[in-house]
Structure 1
Amino acid sequence: MENAKSKIKLGIYGIGLLMMGVIGISSSLSTIGAKFPEASQTMIQNLISIPCIVIIPTTIVVGKLMQTISKKNIALAGIIIFLIGGSAPAFMTSFTTILVMRGILGVGIGICQVVSTAIVADNFSGVEQQKVQGTLQASQMAGAAIMVFAGGWLTEVRWNYVFFVHLLAIISLILVAVMVPNTKPEKMTTTGDVQKTKLTSATWGWVIFMFILFISVQVYSISLSFLVTEKNLGTAADSGLGLAFFAIGGIIMGLLYGSLAKRTKNCAIAVGCLMLAVAYVVIAFAGSMIVCHIGSILVGMAVSAALPGIFINTGMSVDGFSAGMAISVVTCAQNFGQFCCPYIINPISASISGGRSVNFMCFIIGAVVAAALTILMLVWGVKKNRQVI
């Protein structure tokens, strides 16, 4: 039994490697922008935003599919789609066609994001679930670290080589095929009635929170490369290293999440939001890549501190049958926030920059949003902790 659980964990972590595939090319945005001078900065940022918007309907569809199709088969399909959509742009020169393939990549990522967390909810509970969810977050960051670090260096060789970072999916494909059991979902209750999905008001609260949080989080992915170039702090490879430090911070916190949750209980999400606010201030005023890297580590730790608690509480807000769909909807909100970020943050930053860098103001606004969420989740967490006592 324990050996079977260990194998399932490896399969879950294999899927996790791809969950942040959206930002795999983030370190190379400015270089890609130079290759397509006719495209605006916002249009170049659509290489990140398009997958996010495609993920939104994908997560809802996957939530329904998981009620009738085994999660293993869904995961395998998602990984193959990720592999095709992610790697194909390396052979293309049309920006429009590349955007289309990025949309296909988004389908694969959307499947991976939902099915991985759903498999965790199906197979683990209590303290073990917290540990597995934290380690899933760590594997997610490890995948991001590999992709953004390799992507920065590949871009230095040739701009389109960055898309080859998505070949990481081959490892995930093998792990899922070998480690995850092909278990079909049960659609009937013990009385023989067909179960129906029921989302609660608490679930919708997490949906709204996740949306706002990831408007803030996405500032890092879409603005770091431009800020580094604008301030002459480094090259695309240096930005890639910064994003790798982000992932390293996430790995560290993911592995430590069990201890953090044990000490802070329901305040772990507030800790993550606070770290994000501090990190953005550090990056905004950074005068060197070293300081940027410190901020990047903090951003990664912040995301890994906040996400597990959000998904665990989302799963707990509904019955077991509805958990998959609840996780899908919250994941949908996460990606909708990422998509909306440049269309909300960029205009606001431009209107209040007052002669300062727009990218600088993006990080300042992101810090303010994160600080507000810190207060909200601290009040919620303290209240919940008192109820437990």
Structure 2
Amino acid sequence: MENTKGKIKLGIYGIGLLMMGVIAISSSLATIGARFPELSQTMIQNLISISCIVIIPTTIVVGKLMQTFSKKNIVMAGIIIFIIGGVAPAFMTSFTAILVMRAVLGIGVGVCQVVSTAIAVEEFSGTEQDKVQGTLQSSQMVGLAIMVFTGGKLADIQWNYVFYVHLLAVLALILVAIMIPNTKPKKDTASGVVQKAKFTSATWGWIIFMFVLFINFQIYNVSLSYLIAEKKLGTAADAGLSVAFFAAGGFVMGLLYGKLAKIARNCTTSVGCLMLVVSFVIISSASNLNMCYVGSIFFGMAIASTLPGIFINTGMSVDTFSAGMAISAVTCAQNFGQFICPFIVNPLSAAISRGSNVITCFIIGALLAAILTIIMLLWGIKKNKKISLIKSPNL
């Protein structure tokens, strides 16, 4: 039994390597842009944004598919789609065709994001689930680091070679094929009533929280390079190096998440939100690149210490049959928050800013993260007290 669980963990972590595949080519966007000089910078950036948009409906569709088909078959199909959408642009010269394949890649990433977490929720519980979810975050960071840095070196050789980084998915496909059991979902058909996924008020609360949190998270992704340029702290390459520190912070915290969750229990998510406050305060006041890198480390730690708890609590807020769909909805909220962030934060920053709009964006992010910290701290304290009373009813 223990050996079987160990294999499942390896399969889950294999999927995790691909979960940030959308930004695998981020370090090479300028190189790709040089190949298409007639296109604007915004159009080149669509190579990433179009994948994010496609992930949104994909997560909902996958949630429905998991009610009928085995998660193993779904994720294997998703990984194959990932490989096709990721590698095919290496053989293309039409930007439109490349953009279409990037949309296909988004489908594969969306499948991996939902199914990896759903398997973890289904197969593990308690402190073991905390550890699995934490290590899953670390595997995401490892996959991100491998693809971004390898992609940069490949692009230096030739612009289209960067797309070969998506071949990392072959390793994930092998791990899933060998390690993940082919278990079909169980449906309650004894009553003759078709079973449907049902969300509780707690489920909707986590969906809203994830949406707001990732509006905040996206501030870092879309604004850091502009802040570094505006403050004249470094070049675009220096801004790209922040990915290394972001990934390092996330990797370390992912490994430590189980211990953090054991100590803080239901207050763990509030600790992550607090780290986000620290990250944004450091970055907004940065006077040199090192401060930006320190802020990036805290940002990676914030992601790795908030996401596991959100997914775990979402899965626990519904019955087993509904868990997959609930996780799909939360993942959808995550990607929608990322997509809509610039349309909310940038106008707000411009309206209230008396100086730098970019710095104001990070200040807004710090304030919003502080509010989320307080909300989750109060929720966590209440939840911890409730659990303590259940365990010790005579106290």
Aligned to 2:14: 14
Cα gap change, 1:96 to 1:364, in 2 (>3 Å): farther
User: Structure 1 stretch 44-53 or stretch 307-316: which is displaced more?
Assistant: 44-53
- Shift in Å at residue 42 of structure 1? 4.4
User: Letter of the aligned partner of 1:117 in structure 2?
Assistant: T
2:361 matched residue in structure 1: 362
Cα deviation digits, residues 179-218 of structure 1 (max 9, x gap): 1111122223565654221111111111111011111112
| C-alpha distance in structure 1 between counterparts of 2:28 and 2:343, whole Å | 20
Q: How far has the Cα of 1:41 moved from its partner?
A: 5.0
Whether 2:69 is the aligned partner of 1:69: answer yes
SS of alignment partner, residue 334 of structure 1: helix
Relative to structure 1, the CA distance from residue 218 to residue 163 in structure 2 (aligned partners, 3 Å threshold; closer, same or farther) is farther
SS at match of 1:322: helix
Return the alpha-carbon distance in structure 1 between the equivalents of residues 171 and 188 of structure 2: 35
- SS at the partner of 2:8? helix
The residue identity in structure 2 corresponding to 1:382 is I
**1:388 paired residue number:** 387
Indicate the percent of aligned positions where both proteins have the same amino acid.
71
Q: CA deviation at 1:152?
A: 3.6
In structure 2, how many angstroms separate the alpha carbons of the residues matched to 1:156 and 1:221? 23
CA contact (8 A) 1:42 1:342 kept: no
1:213-271 CA distance string (max 9 Å, x none): 11111222223334444544444543333112211111111111111111111111111
Q: Using structure 2 for the length normalisation, give the TM-score.
A: 0.91
Deviations 1:37-69 (A, max 9, x none): 655554444333221221111111111111111
- 2:235 and 2:171 map into 1 onto residues whose CA distance is 29
Equivalence map 1:220-235=2 (5 Å): 220-235=220-235
Distance 1:27 1:373, change over 3 A: farther
Deviation at residue 165 of structure 1 after TM alignment:
2.3
The one-letter code matched in structure 2 to 1:367 is A
CA gap of 1:207–1:277, structure 2 versus 1, over 3 A, is: same
What does the per-residue CA deviation read over 1:140-185, in whole Å, with 9 as the maximum and x for residues that have no partner? Answer: 1111122223334444444443333222111111111111111122
Whole-Å separation in 2 of the counterparts to 1:40 and 1:222: 17
Count of aligned pairs between the two proteins? 388
Q: Which residue of 2 aligns with 1:373?
A: 372
* Equivalent AA in structure 1 for residue 328 of structure 2: S
Say if 1:2 and 1:253 are closer, same or farther in 2 by CA, change over 3 A: same
Contact 1:266 1:382 (8 Å CA) reproduced: yes
**Structure 2 residue runs without a partner (length 5+):** 389-395
Paired residue for 1:203? Answer: 203
C-alpha change, 1:179 and 1:370, in structure 2 (3 Å) is same
Is 1:50 aligned to residue 77 of structure 2?
Answer: no
The alpha carbon displacement at 1:387 in A equals 1.3
Residue 172 of structure 1 corresponds to 172
- Rounded to whole Å, the distance in 2 between the matches of 1:83 and 1:228 is 34
For residues 190 and 122 of structure 1, the distance between their equivalents in structure 2, rounded to whole angstroms, comes to 22
Query: Relative to structure 1, is the Cα distance of residues 204 and 279 closer, same or farther in structure 2, using a 3 angstrom cutoff?
Result: same
Offset of residue 25 of structure 1: 2.5
Which residue does the alignment assign to 1:162? 162
Mapped to 1, the partners of 2:92 and 2:238 lie a distance apart of 25
From the superposition, tell whether residues 102 and 353 of structure 1 become closer, same or farther in structure 2 (CA, over 3 Å).
farther
Separation in structure 2 between the aligned mates of residue 25 and residue 67 of structure 1, nearest angstrom: 33
The code of the aligned residue for 2:371 comes to A
Conservation of the 8 A alpha-carbon contact between 1:249 and 1:300: yes
The amino acid of 1:284's aligned partner reads S
- Structural RMSD (CA): 2.2
Counterpart in the other structure of 2:85: 85
Amino acid at match of 1:312: I
Is residue 291 of structure 2 the alignment partner of residue 291 of structure 1? yes
Distance in 1 separating the partners of 2:297 and 2:257: 15
Amino acid at match of 1:202: A
Matched to 1:119, the amino acid is I
Structure 2: which amino acid aligns with 1:371? Answer: A
1:326–1:67 CA distance, 2 compared to 1 (3 A)? same
Residues 15 and 286 (structure 1), Cα distance of their counterparts in 2 relative to 1, 3 Å cut: same
Which residue matches 1:273? Answer: 273
Matched residues in 2 for 1:291 and 1:210: separation?
27
Q: What's the counterpart of residue 112 of structure 1?
A: 112
Distance in 2, Cα, partners of 1:155 & 1:228? 23
TM-score between both structures, scaled by the size of structure 1: 0.92
- Structure 1 CA distance for aligned equivalents of residues 346 and 248 of structure 2: 27
Mean Cα displacement is larger for which, 132-141 or 346-355?
A: 346-355
Q: Which moved more, 1:374-383 or 1:345-354?
A: 345-354
Contact 1:282 1:295 in 2 (8 A): yes
Match of 2:393 in 1: none
> What is the Cα deviation at residue 85 of structure 1?
1.4
Deviation at 1:70, TM superposition (A): 1.0
Distance in 1 of aligned mates of 2:212 and 2:143: 24
Superposition pairs of residues 176-255 of structure 1, within 5 angstroms = 176-188=176-188, 193-255=193-255
| 8 Å contact kept, 1:48–1:222 | no
